[in-house]
Amino acid sequence: NAGVTQTPKFQVLKTGQSMTLQCAQDMNHEYMSWYRQDPGMGLRLIHYSVGAGITDQGEVPNGYNVSRSTTEDFPLRLLSAAPSQTSVYFCAASGDWDTEAFFGQGTRLTVV
């Protein structure tokens, strides 16, 4: 099983550009989340979803949008990239609130 797949793995953007980070899971899990990890720090929750059609904000939602039209996909949109959004982004999926989250391999984003 592929589990959680993130694309792309690496991306360089110019300030002001927009882009979408893709996340797909094949485990039929209801919970999906996006995190960012800055150097030497923990993961901070950007947005999450508890099922198709339902999304909510996490700790650091500003500058990001999400939607969840299917169980499988949970894309993260950067509206107007800023250097402060340079980070590693992780997508995760879990079956329920009390079960482990499975993580994608991460997307390393650099905004110049």
Partner 1 sequence: AQKITQTQPGMFVQEKEAVTLDCTYDTSDQSYGLFWYKQPSSGEMIFLIYQGSYDEQNATEGRYSLNFQKARKSANLVISASQLGDSAMYFCAMRDNNNDMRFGAGTRLTVKP
Q: Which residue's entry shows tokens 């797949």? A: 5
- CA distances in angstroms from 43 to 2, 15, 16, 28, listed in the order given: 22, 23, 24, 24
10 binds partner 1 (CB under 8 A): no
DSSP 60: -
Interface residue with partner 1, options 90, 93, 109, 111 (CB under 8 A):
90
Per CB under 8 A, which region of 11-19, 66-74, 77-85, 103-111 contacts partner 1?
Answer: 103-111
Residues of the shown chain interacting with partner 1 in the complex, contacts defined by CB under 8 A: 31, 33, 35, 41-45, 48, 50, 56, 58-59, 88, 90, 92, 94, 97-103, 105-106
